[in-house]
Chain A
Amino acid sequence: MKKRLLLVAGLLAILTGCGQQPELDVNADQNKTAQQAPAKAQQAAQENNNTQPTETDLTDNTTVKVTEDSMNEDKLNQKLAKDLSNEVIHFDFDKYNIRQDQLPIVEQVANILKDTKGNFTVRIEGNCDEWGSDEYNYALGLKRAKTVKQALIDLGVDANKLTIISYGESNPVCTAHTKECWAKNRRDNFTLLP
């Protein structure tokens, strides 16, 4: 019984002893402690800083690089889409050959596409005025798109980045039934596909 009590007391002494903070020599180490406190605080702060994983992850170099690339690609696509939307090639009545006066526009489109890096697909859309019949008009629109596609390839644009479609007379830019409107509708547009 006595041995048991001594054992328990001894254990208690050890446990409390582990928990005890070492006594400070108030007089001798007071200044030193005072100096140590901010240092320790600083150190603790530094340690805290070093152990904030979230912030560390946010500043991870790999993550930042991908985001920048994505943002850059979106900007480039927007710019490309906008540049292309400004380019329109017009055709003569019932014709699908490229007029002399339209060649600079074809060259401009070629330069835009060649200067744009990355993966993208541009759809060349052939359109007609309202004079014509169903299938023949759609085929005429397609020939207009195809002619321009071939011209762009000849100017060095990657063929894999181009596709064509015909809208026939279904996508007019005007419906005024005038010669000016008909001339506007005989055209190729360019659309950047998502």
Chain B
Amino acid sequence: MRIIVLFIFIINLYAQNLQIIKYVTNEKPKIAVEYINLPAQLKNILQKDTTIISHYQIDIKNQINNIKLSFNTNNYSGYNYLLRLNYQKNSLVALLYDLLQHKVVLYKRYKIPSFQVYPFMIHALSYDINNKLGFSNIPWIKRKIIYSIYMAPKEQSIFLADITLTYRKKIISGGLNIFPKWADKAQTSIYYTKLERQPVLYKYNIHTGAKERILTTPGMLIVSDVKKDKLLLTLAVHDQPDIYEYDIHSKALTRLTTFDGIDVNGQFYGDNKIVFISNRLGYPNVYQKDLDTNQVSKLIYYGKNHISVAVNKENVIVSTRETDNEFDNNTFNLLLIKKDSDVVKRLTFNGKNMLPRFSQDGNTVLFIKEYKFNSKLGIIRLNENKIFYFKINRKIQSFDF
């Protein structure tokens, strides 16, 4: 009995100074957010970013007078971090304080040239917060999106946007401008096709507005993929849609497929392979070609009617037509398939889901969903097992990020 009482006494003696730091498996770190000045639009983007990143939670609490840290940490019970923000004249100062470690982990000023590009400023902040909290890198959140929008028959314009489609700017208009594709990692220029007397491929600098005519052929001309100084094109040089490789510097054009049907959507894959869609067996499916040996083989053996594809290492995402209704709505869903295995995961369940695009790290996939004839930009977080949508009130023809 005396031993028990002594034991209880010792526990109580240390209880006040004993802090049990434990992250329950599904509990995300919580950040209390205070601000001197933070417009509603910035709060909105901060909330959206937090939701789609899905690594931590934020709670926008109250307005304060000073960003400096003179406060009682006991006031932030239940929070792991304190974020203080002050926005003034296109400049945002952010201070992120670790309440448990008692140290500043981020103290930075973010500047923008004008208020209209504020979403990019918040995305940069979210990127840094995610990094400082020790989570996997999310460079995709800072990427610019380009997409072409159907405006009227034979009229499509190209827009520049942020990942939430909050910032939108028309950069190319007049006529049929289709299939925009980023020309470089820094996102300074894009390729796009304009349907004039015949299709013409242009390169356009989004900062200077400089436009360069690259190539023209009759029939069809699309940039499917870009890898340094090489482009994969779907061309119809001889009235036949095939995949070609184009060297930007030497201007050499090399035909890579010769099938008499449809070969499209070429993607660079590995060191010296390409992946593409072909209907060489009577229906569209995913194939790969070894450019050293010229061997062509199926990439995946699950299902058929795969009309577009994206690849990242062992992961393959296909847009598969699951209905064949000539007189009714059709369904195209995204499937995630592990190459060389039977593992298949359905990512979407209804509507028309197309144009999957992997982020560089491979954990995030962007795509276009048409549901009841509206377009949405979809963001799939594979590890977090979540999908988010940003709606746009027009039909997106193609996009890149």
Instruction: Enumerate chain A interface residues (CB-CB to B < 8 A).
Output: 92-94, 123, 131-136, 138-140, 142-143, 145-146, 149, 163-168, 170-173, 177, 179, 182, 193
Interface residues of B in 351-368 (CB under 8 A from A): 352, 354-355
Is A193 a contact partner of B197 (Cβ separation < 8 A)? yes
Residue B96, interface by CB 8 Å: no
A contact residues around B354 at 8 Å (CB): 133-134
Interchain CB contact under 8 A, B224 and A172: no
B222 touches A (CB below 8 Å): yes
Partner of A143, one of B153, B176, B241, B373: B241
Is there an interface contact between A142 and B398, defined as CB atoms closer than 8 Å?
no
Are A134 and B176 in contact (CB-based, < 8 A)?
no
Q: Please give the distance in Å from B18's CB to the nearest CB on chain A.
A: 59
Q: Across the interface, do B156 and A138 meet the contact criterion of CB distance under 8 Å? A: no
Q: List 5 A-B contacts (CB under 8 A).
A: A134-B354, A139-B234, A165-B218, A167-B176, A170-B154
| Shortest Cβ distance from A135 into B: residue | B264
Q: B198 to A132, Cβ gap below 8 A?
A: no
**Nearest chain B residue, comparing its CB with the CB of A178:** B327
Are B332 and A163 touching (Cβ within 8 A)? no
- Given the known interface contacts A133-B355, A134-B355, the answer about A165 and B154 at a Cβ–Cβ threshold of 8 Å is no
Taking a contact as CB atoms under 8 Å apart, the answer to whether B262 and A140 are in contact is: yes
Q: B268-315: which residues lie under 8 A (CB-CB) from chain A?
A: 277, 284, 307-308
Q: Kindly state whether residue B178 has any CB partner on chain A within 8 Å.
A: yes
Q: Report A-chain residues with C-beta under 8 Å of the C-beta of B176.
A: 167, 170-171
CB atoms of A142 and B220 under 8 A apart: yes
CB < 8 Å A-B pair total: 102
B240 touching A146, Cβ below 8 Å:
yes
Give the complex CA separation of A143 and B259 in angstroms.
13
- Determine whether B150 belongs to the interface, using a CB cutoff of 8 Å to chain A: yes
* Minimum Cβ distance to chain B for residue A139 (Å): 4
Bound-state CA distance A143–B240 (Å) is 7
**Bound Cα distance from A146 to B240, whole angstroms:** 8
Please give, as numbers and ranges, the residues of chain A lying within 8 Å of B277 by CB-CB distance.
Answer: 135-136
CB distance from B54 to the nearest CB of A (A): 28
| Docked complex Cα distance between A141 and B328 (Å) | 20
Quick check: B239 and A138 within 8 Å, CB to CB? no
Closest beta carbon of chain B to A177's beta carbon, Å: 6
Judged by a CB distance under 8 angstroms, whether B179 is at the interface is: yes
Nearest CB of chain A from residue B216's CB, rounded to whole Å:
12
CB pair B198–A165 under 8 Å, yes or no, is yes
Q: Which residues of B have CB within 8 Å of A123?
A: 197
Instruction: List the 7 closest A-B pairs by CB distance, nearest first.
Output: A93-B326, A179-B327, A135-B264, A139-B241, A133-B307, A139-B262, A133-B308
Say whether B330 contacts A131, CB under 8 Å. yes
Contacts of B264 in A (CB 8 A): 135-136, 138-139
Bound: A116/B334 CA distance, A: 50
Q: A142–B265 contact, CB under 8 A?
A: no
The residues in B between 323 and 348 inclusive whose CB is less than 8 angstroms from any CB of A are 324, 326-328, 330, 332
B164 adjacent to chain A (CB < 8 Å): no
- Whether A136 contacts B218 by the Cβ 8 Å rule is no
Question: CB distance B220 to A139 under 8 Å?
Answer: yes
Q: Chain B CB within 10 Å — which of A134, A170, A179 has the most?
A: A134
What does the 1/0 interface line of B223-246 toward A look like (CB < 8 Å)?
Answer: 010000000001010011100000
Q: Which of A133, A164, A165, A177 lies in contact with B319, CB distance below 8 A?
A: A133
Instruction: Assess the B154–A134 pair: CB atoms within 8 A.
Output: no
Measured between alpha carbons, how far is A173 from B152 in the docked complex, in Å? 10
Cross-chain contact B308 with A135 (CB below 8 angstroms)? yes
B220 engages A134 (CB within 8 Å): no
Q: What are the residues of chain B within 8 A of A170 when measuring CB–CB?
A: 150, 153-154, 156, 176, 178, 195, 397
* Of A145, A167, A168, A170, most B-chain CB atoms within 10 Å: A170
Q: B220 contacts which chain A residues (CB < 8 A)?
A: 138-139, 142, 165-166
